[in-house]
Amino acid sequence: MTVLVDVPMWPAHGRLWAHLVSDTSLHELHAFAERAALPPRSFDRDHYDVPEERVGELVALGAQQVTANELTRRLIASGLRVRSRDR
């Protein structure tokens, strides 16, 4: 049971963004996001988009920081990944 956050590298709205996922369940992901006070609108089917400045806080709350490739690999392996064509 792990919540993962990747390295912020996705530019949008004048800042860099990271992704927050669970490799276990969406329930775990939503519970973690609620504890971190992430807005519900930042959820996008299988992940939360989080601004660069929040990553340290998420790690302090227990998220494991990984590379984008590792995050994607573990999300796919969990069966929770929503493919681009299914969005």
Write out pLDDT tens, residues 21-80: 999 999 999 999 999 999 999 999 999 999 999 999 999 999 999 999 999 999 999 988
CA distances (Å), 20 to each of 1, 46, 66, in order?
A: 14, 9, 10
* Domain extent for 9: 3-86
- Structural domains of the chain, count: 1
Q: Classify burial at 73, counting beta carbons within 10 Å of its beta carbon; exposed 0-12, middle 13-18, buried 19 or more.
A: middle
E strands, 2-86, in order: 3-6, 10-12, 15-22, 48-51, 64-66
Q: Helix, strand, coil shares of the chain as percentages rounded to 5?
A: 40, 25, 30
- pTM, two decimal places: 0.92
Q: What is the pLDDT of residues 3-37, one digit of tens each?
A: 999 999 999 999 999 999 999 999 999 999 999 99
Structure tokens at 82: 């929503």
Residue 1 predicted with pLDDT over 70: no
